[in-house]
Amino acid sequence: MHTTMTSLLAADAPIVMTPTTPHLRIEAVTKRFGTFTALDNISLTINEGEFVCFLGPSGCGKTTLLRTIAGLARQTAGTLIQRDKDISTLPTQARDFGIVFQSYALFPNLTVFNNVAYGLRNRRVERSRIQARVSELLALVNLTGSDNKYPAALSGGQQQRVALARALATEPGLLLLDEPLSALDARVRGHLRSQIKALQARLGVTTIMVTHDQEEALTMADRIVVMNHGVIEQVGTPAEIYHQPASAFVASFIGSMNFLEVTAQGDNQALLGTTPCACLSHTLKVGQAAQLAIRPEAVALSRQAGALNGEVIGIEFLGPFQRVTLRLTDVDQTLIADVPSRDSTDLSLYQGQVLGIHLPAEAARLYPAGSSQQ
Ligand code: ATP
């Protein structure tokens, strides 16, 4: 039987409608500490069931935004609406969220069971129901049997799993995670990252996680909110943020990026020294100083000289790819190119040689000069 590609796709990949009901609307939120503006007129909608990461460098305001949502900090101006309810002035304890902090923040004098049961007892849930719910939660975070242990007897990763179970105990509408993995070592962090992601997807709980770790955000988030100096630079899926950075800041903050000093020209063009380079369409003026951003993996090298050439001045073997550093021949600028290590070609043979460089136009974006500084 002849099966077309279309019917294969139709059978194998049913179209899943993603719900876009707003869970939380942040409207024009500003937070000042004295004369310092930590959040500057932030507006953002987070949808039901979404996993959103606030990502940005230290001091960009991501923790302040999370604390404002939790009511732990009060906004100077603006409104917060959760499921159509204005929560802007509600005290923390009247808001509907569970939270996990960076440092485990478990009660050291309470057992694992009592830590997880804490919120349920406060709500006067009946004993048998608490027993069942705590068992269910401990199973969910793979800690069945640890009921009677004290936090000090658990590893960092286990403590964070207890903190997660505690945050989820009262079935909050919103889960807030404040750098929950940053105190853990790399191996535990990677493992817990996938556990949290799987758990969130299974429960469908709307989740906001603060992180300064781009890999964490790229692997876990449905959408990433990139922040800098108290404003949102871009909101998008991990692929959008990586492939279509809206600003030079986002381009420089996520992944590796070359920035070449160029002069903007009309017609999707820039001049690198005297060499014309094609790029994506831009809004800069002809003659304006600009930077052309291109990812190292998009740069193509060839043995034949081309319009743009560079001398190989460094080669690093990085496993899946080799990173080649080139000094451009016509202008005093360097460029890196990541070449996949598909075969065992020893690129070190090219050290000192001049190679042709191709910058594909569809991967080259123009930003105003000097705007990539963090
Ligand atoms: P980090 O990853 O370092 O925690 P962040 O992006 O989470 O950074 P915030 O903690 O939100 O940043 O802080 C944003 C800015 O507001 C920083 O410059 C910080 O110094 C300032 N800030 C935060 N809390 C206060 C406070 N209580 N009083 C004065 N300034 C504050």
**Predicted structure pTM score:** 0.89
Rg for the chain (alpha carbons), in Å? 25
Segment 183-191 shows an average pLDDT of 84
In angstroms, the CA 27 to CA 127 distance is 41
Query: Distances in Å between the alpha carbon of 115 and those of 110, 147, 329?
Result: 6, 9, 64
| Closest atom of ligand 1 relative to the 212 alpha carbon | 2
- Using the 8-state DSSP alphabet, how is residue 153 labeled? G
pLDDT at site 1: 39
| Closest atom of ligand 1 relative to the 73 alpha carbon | 27
Q: How much of the chain exceeds pLDDT 70, in percent?
A: 93
Instruction: Please determine, for residue 211, whether its predicted confidence score (pLDDT) is greater than 80.
Output: yes
Scan for tokens 């009592």, then name that residue.
Answer: 114
> Domains along the chain?
22-96+172-243 (3.40.50.300), 256-368 (2.40.50.100)
Average pLDDT over all residues of the chain: 90
Instruction: Please determine, for residue 374, whether its predicted confidence score (pLDDT) is greater than 90.
Output: no
Give per-residue pLDDT as tens, 8-55: 444 455 555 555 899 999 999 999 999 999 999 999 999 999 999 999
pLDDT at site 124: 82
In angstroms, the CA 31 to CA 300 distance is 46
pLDDT at site 350: 87
Q: Check if 56 has its Cβ closer than 6 Å to any atom of ligand 1.
A: yes
Most ligand 1 atoms within 8 A of CB, residue of 32, 55, 60, 176 to mutate: 60
In angstroms, the CA 83 to CA 78 distance is 17
Contact 362, 321 (CB under 8 A): no
pLDDT at site 16: 55
Give per-residue pLDDT as tens, 154-175: 988 899 999 999 999 989 999 9
DSSP-derived secondary structure for 117-143: HHHHHHTT--HHHHHHHHHHHHHHTT-
Q: How far is the CA of 70 from the centre of ligand 1 (A)?
A: 15
pLDDT at site 197: 92
Instruction: Please determine, for residue 212, whether its predicted confidence score (pLDDT) is greater than 70.
Output: yes
Segment 73-83 shows an average pLDDT of 97
Segment 52-79 shows an average pLDDT of 96
pLDDT at site 5: 40
pLDDT at site 343: 67
Which residue has a Cα nearest atom 17 of ligand 1?
Answer: 59
State the helix-helix crossing angle for 156-168 and 112-122, rounded to 10 degrees: 20
pLDDT at site 3: 38
In angstroms, the CA 226 to CA 217 distance is 10
Give per-residue pLDDT as tens, 295-321: 999 999 999 999 999 999 999 989 889
Give per-residue pLDDT as tens, 282-295: 999 999 999 999 99
Q: How far is the CA of 165 from the centre of ligand 1 (A)?
A: 27
| Closest atom of ligand 1 relative to the 230 alpha carbon | 14
Which residue has a Cα nearest atom 1 of ligand 1?
Answer: 58
Q: Check if 31 has its Cβ closer than 6 Å to any atom of ligand 1.
A: no
